[in-house]
Amino acid sequence: MRKLFFILFFAVCAHAGFFLENDAAEEEALAREIDRGFSFGGGISIAYYLSEFDLSLSGLAAYRFQNDFGIAPEISIGLNEKVYEAGSAIRYFFSEEDFVDVGATAVYFKKEGDWFTAPRIFVDYGRNMKPWPHAHFALQGKIRLSYLIGESLGREEEYVTKTASTVISGTLSLIFF
């Protein structure tokens, strides 16, 4: 009788666990669906070039049209230096939170008293960090390596203007789904 009781008990527990696992899988699928579609937000970016840091405010949007791919337009306004930027990227999600962007922007900046426009290509690694699975917002962090084609950014010092085409930057943004 004791053996029959244990067999019945384990069978009921296994059967109950099956339904709990299905509910958890459905909850995970629901949490993933929140990330799909349109998202937008804004943040602050810090760029490093020519031995100095520059701050800028950025606005961004994204549309995730498949599980793994999306498109992400953005705009940026420099705070310390007069550097304005607008562009777009193709986004590849290699996990639910982590992504890589490859894109191009147009940069409008002042150097030696003149205004210049130059294209910039970049690669980003980013991560969306949600506070809980069903949150409709996230903190997004990105690290960017970019290269300015043609004209280069410059900093004026006494009798010398330093120039740079490669820029490393990081962005921290609050995004809403």
User: How high is the pLDDT of residue 150?
Assistant: 85
User: How high is the pLDDT of residue 95?
Assistant: 87
Give the total number of structural domains in the chain.
2
CATH number for 92: 2.40.160.20
- Look-up: residue for tokens 């053996």? 3
Please check whether residues 89 and 151 belong to one and the same domain: yes
Q: Which residues lie across from 164 on neighbouring strands? A: 153
- Look-up: residue for tokens 């100095």? 52
Please check whether residues 86 and 168 belong to one and the same domain: yes
Three-state DSSP at 165 gives coil
Q: Which residues lie across from 146 on neighbouring strands? A: 122, 167
User: How high is the pLDDT of residue 127?
Assistant: 95
Question: What is the full per-residue pLDDT of the chain (177 aa) written as tens digits?
Answer: 666 666 766 665 555 554 455 555 666 655 566 567 899 999 999 998 877 889 999 999 999 887 889 999 999 999 988 899 999 999 999 988 899 999 999 999 888 788 999 999 999 999 999 998 878 899 999 999 999 998 888 777 666 666 778 999 999 999 998
User: How high is the pLDDT of residue 134?
Assistant: 79
Please check whether residues 29 and 84 belong to one and the same domain: no
Please check whether residues 17 and 58 belong to one and the same domain: no
Please check whether residues 13 and 45 belong to one and the same domain: no
Considering only CA atoms, which of 57, 49, 43 is closest in space to residue 172?
43
Give tens-digit pLDDT for 50-69. 778 899 999 999 998 878 89
User: How high is the pLDDT of residue 30?
Assistant: 56
* String of DSSP letters for 107-167: EEEEETTEEEEEEEEEEEEEEEE-SSTT-SEEEEEEEEEEEE-SS-EEEEETTEEEEESEE
User: How high is the pLDDT of residue 112?
Assistant: 78
Please check whether residues 110 and 141 belong to one and the same domain: yes
Please check whether residues 120 and 63 belong to one and the same domain: yes
Please check whether residues 3 and 85 belong to one and the same domain: no
Domain of 73? 36-176
Please check whether residues 126 and 68 belong to one and the same domain: yes
User: How high is the pLDDT of residue 11?
Assistant: 60
Please check whether residues 172 and 86 belong to one and the same domain: yes
User: How high is the pLDDT of residue 153?
Assistant: 81
Question: Would you say the pTM of this structure is higher than 0.85?
Answer: no
